[in-house]
Amino acid sequence: MNKIINTQLLLYALSFLLLGCTHTTTVHVFGKYLPNEDLSKLQSALDEQGFEVEINSLDFPTSISQNTILHSLMLRDASAVESVKAIAIEHGFNIADIQGLKEGNHWYTKDAIAIYPFPQDSEHSPLLKQDLARRFKTANCDLSFDLKLSANGAYEISGSPVSDENKGLLNGTWHYVQYPYLELRPYKGISWSRYFEIHQVVKQDKVSQIEVIQLRPVEQHHITQACFYEYGVRM
């Protein structure tokens, strides 16, 4: 009887050890700014090394502006961070900062790593195109218009009454070729483009500070004249 019990205990112990050995570190890849091809290659490389990979398209913390790795302090495999770093570097993402988190997002309270990679061709850009895909509102004037910049490259202006001759300017495509200039191009048939200069400022109201993206017209706009467009997020 004791022999049977001992055998069962041994089997339980072996099962526990096997479960421990098969445990894998989860790597959260913040893929908002990566082209699909680059994201797929990075994911495949992490998969091949035995990591459990989870992709998301969440915004980066405003304090992160270069390739960064954040990790739990409770990693079962102490070499996991270096492995993730090596994979990132192999795929062109030179890691500028590695931090261990003691508190904060629950992702990092267990065996987890997060990687924040920026596109290789725009790692040092002050603002990426994806950051401009927002709905802006007029400011610094008496007019009331919205400017919607869609992720697919289309724009739409809506709001106050517009004369018939200017209605063709309300829709078109937007282009962000070089910081700090944004271009609006109406659809075919209209020879017209308007440029805005992009500014990032911090404002303060009675509640808190607000991070604001401003689009300031380089020249007077036919529709919104000299109005700024603004989009803000509370800090």
- Give tens-digit pLDDT for 61-82: 767 778 999 998 888 888 999 9
Contact 70, 91 (CB under 8 A): no
**What's residue 58's pLDDT?**
83
Q: Looking at mean pLDDT, say which of 53-62, 148-157, 177-186 comes out highest.
A: 148-157
Token pair listed for 90: 């192999």
- Cα–Cα distance for residue pair 188/190, rounded to 1 Å: 6
Contact 160, 183 (CB under 8 A): no
pLDDT band at residue 121 under the 50/70/90 scheme:
low
pTM: 0.60
Q: Residue 234 to residues 17, 19, 129: CA-CA distances in angstroms?
A: 48, 44, 20
Helices (H) and strands (E) in the chain — how many of each? 3, 13
